[in-house]
């Protein structure tokens, strides 16, 4: 898995008084796309937790270019790259209206694999690594 697409229809409650998607909702859209990208590869947060692994967010960035509006059908592109250390994983996002090329919002979220009992970072479990492309050096 290196690229995943998730569709989302903008709901009325996600819009602010100016009629555009409230900025914080894009972080929710990223999380939903990330969760479904993992699920598409047979990896759920529940299965990770059942194996004693959690994935806290290390950093997050969002850039806003053009607003989405109520009832827009959005396509969230999610590119996934495992770090060389196999401890961190990067999710890059681009949000577009379905069928259009203009990027409305882009961003990234970097997470790490974390042993929930020992409370320290760990390499991703082997069964998870099998689903991730390896990063081309530098991270």
**84-111 confidence digits (pLDDT tens):** 899 999 999 999 999 999 999 999 999 9
Q: Does residue 137 lie in a domain region?
A: no
Q: Does residue 138 lie in a domain region?
A: no
Q: Does residue 39 lie in a domain region?
A: yes
Model pTM score: 0.90
Beta pairing partners, 110 = 59, 90
What is residue 137's predicted lDDT score, i.e. its pLDDT? 45
Query: How many structural domains compose the chain?
Result: 1
- Only one residue has tokens 């990208």, namely 37
Mean pLDDT of 68-92: 96
What is residue 36's predicted lDDT score, i.e. its pLDDT? 96
**1-54 confidence digits (pLDDT tens):** 589 999 999 999 999 999 999 999 999 999 999 999 999 989 999 999 999 999
- CA distance linking residue 25 with residue 47, whole number of Å: 26
Range(s) of the domain holding residue 74: 3-129
The phi-psi region of residue 110 (left if phi > 0; otherwise alpha if psi is between -120 and 50; otherwise beta) is beta
Residue 57 has pLDDT above 70, yes or no: yes
CATH code at position 63: 3.10.129.10
Mean pLDDT of 118-138: 80
Q: How wide is the angle at C-alpha 93 spanned by C-alphas 86 and 107, nearest 5°?
A: 95
């Amino acid at each position: 898995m290196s690229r995943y697409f998730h569709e989302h229809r903008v709901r009325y409650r996600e819009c602010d008084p100016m009629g555009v998607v409230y900025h914080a909702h894009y972080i929710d859209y990223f999380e939903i796309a990330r969760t479904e990208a993992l699920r598409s590869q047979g990896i759920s947060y529940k299965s990770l937790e059942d194996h004693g692994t959690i994935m806290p967010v290390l950093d997050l960035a969002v850039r806003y270019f053009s607003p989405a509006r109520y009832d827009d059908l959005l396509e969230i592109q999610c590119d996934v790259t495992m770090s060389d250390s196999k401890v961190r994983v990067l999710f890059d996002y681009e949000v577009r209206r379905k069928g259009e090329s203009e990027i409305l919002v882009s961003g990234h979220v970097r997470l790490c694999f974390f042993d929930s009992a020992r409370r320290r970072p760990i390499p991703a479990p082997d069964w998870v690594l099998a689903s991730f492309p390896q990063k081309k050096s530098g991270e």
